[in-house]
Amino acid sequence: MRHLCHWRSPLFAMVILLLAGCSESPSPTSTSDDDSERPTYPVTWRFALEEIEGSVQHRYAEELKERIESISDGNILIDIFPYGSIGTSIQLTDLAREGSVHLAFASPGHLADLIPETGVFTLHFLLSDNEDVNRDILASDELMQVFTEPYAENGLQLLGFVPEGWMVWTANKPLRTPADFNGLAIRTMTSEIAAEAYKAYGATPTPTPYSQVYSDLQLRRIDGQANPVFAIEEMGFYEVQNTMTFARPAQFVTSVVSNREWFEALPDDQKRWLEEALDEVTPLAYEVQAELNARRLETIMENSNTRIVELSEEEREQFREASLPVRETYARTAGERGEAILEQLMEMVDEAESETPDS
């Protein structure tokens, strides 16, 4: 596994104190359009990642940093905090909500206990099998609009959704049918709805922070986990699992967020720089994930004897059927607004697929 520093340490506590108290950046609420209150440039924005260096999120953050620093003529600097430097996904979301970091990634698999509507992205066989269809839906203003309020109610400004590739199951055996999950202790992301997806297959879901997955697999405290290929490679999960099953149950979707008050108080030029940079980075991130997922599968195959299992459409269909009741669980927990989002997403997928020749 690549370097991952541990945050349950005095160093972590110190970093949090530094973030909270000793910044040269304006506090999230201190900027204004009034010239007399304009920040003294350069201003530093802190961007917290749920993934380590070299990951999709890291590449996204580097591209954003390059663009912001260039559009702003060096007036805005971005400090990137890769995973392991300041906390787990849930801790990063808390830091963004309180304004200690300005920007962060917040993946629905962890976020859905706080914002139940986002749990829709943990549902299996909901989005299209066509990744381009999913890319366009996830980048659409229509989808952004329905999620803006649920994020805002929790102190967050939603800045975009980013797909990071198909979830791939790893275990020490192929997972060809729901029966293969029977009693399997599978690590899931930490929200309840993320666990429900695997309960539906008869598994024993074990919600666990990302940083703990490698050691839990190694110690046989869990039997399997799900993540995109790039993550399986960079986190070393393939070193402690012998089989990867490609069932394409769902895309790994994450969201980019900022502290809401900070975003609303940004001077117009800074807001424009941020929005312009985000618009440029989103399509690029899609290419980055495709390239990283393909290249890292080769790395895994070169460096190990990992068995690769690709499910047939008939095999996938059994999982699709078993997954459907979880949509009702989602609708119950995410309420009326969540249910409306689920229906809207299904309609968007149907419509986009009917307009896409090869889907």
Of the two residues 255 and 270, which places its CB atom closer to ligand 6CS in the complex?
255
Helix (H) or strand (E) holding 141: helix 141-152
Residue partners of 119: CB distance under 8 A and separation at least 6: 108, 112, 191, 193, 194, 330, 333, 334, 338
Distance in angstroms (rounded) separating the CA atoms of residues 164 and 146: 21
| Rounded least distance, CB 216 to ligand 6CS, Å | 12
Helix (H) or strand (E) holding 253: strand 251-259
Task: Output the smallest distance, CB 245 to ligand 6CS, in A.
Answer: 16
Residue-by-residue DSSP string for 167-193: -EEEESS---SGGGGTT-EEEE-SSHH
Query: Which residues contribute to the site for ligand 6CS (CB under 6 A)?
Result: 50-51, 89, 107, 110, 164, 189, 210, 227-228, 231, 252
Which of residues 31 and 282 has its CB atom nearest to ligand 6CS in the complex?
Answer: 282
| Total Cβ atoms within 10 A of residue 202 | 15
Q: How far is the CB of 230 from ligand 6CS (least distance, A)?
A: 7
CB of 211 to ligand 6CS, least distance (A): 9
Q: How far is the CB of 219 from ligand 6CS (least distance, A)?
A: 18
Residue nearest ligand 6CS (C-beta atom): 210
Element at 226 (helix H, strand E): strand 224-227
Cβ closest to ligand 6CS, residue 108 vs residue 178: 108
Q: At 227, list the tokens.
A: 């993540």
At 308, list the tokens.
């690769």
For the CB of residue 189, give the shortest distance to ligand 6CS in the complex, in Å: 5
- For ligand 6CS, the closer CB: 26 or 228: 228
CA distance 131 to 108: 18
Nearer to ligand 6CS, 76 or 231 (CB): 231
**109 in Cβ contact with 189 (< 8 Å):** yes
253/309 with CB nearer ligand 6CS: 253
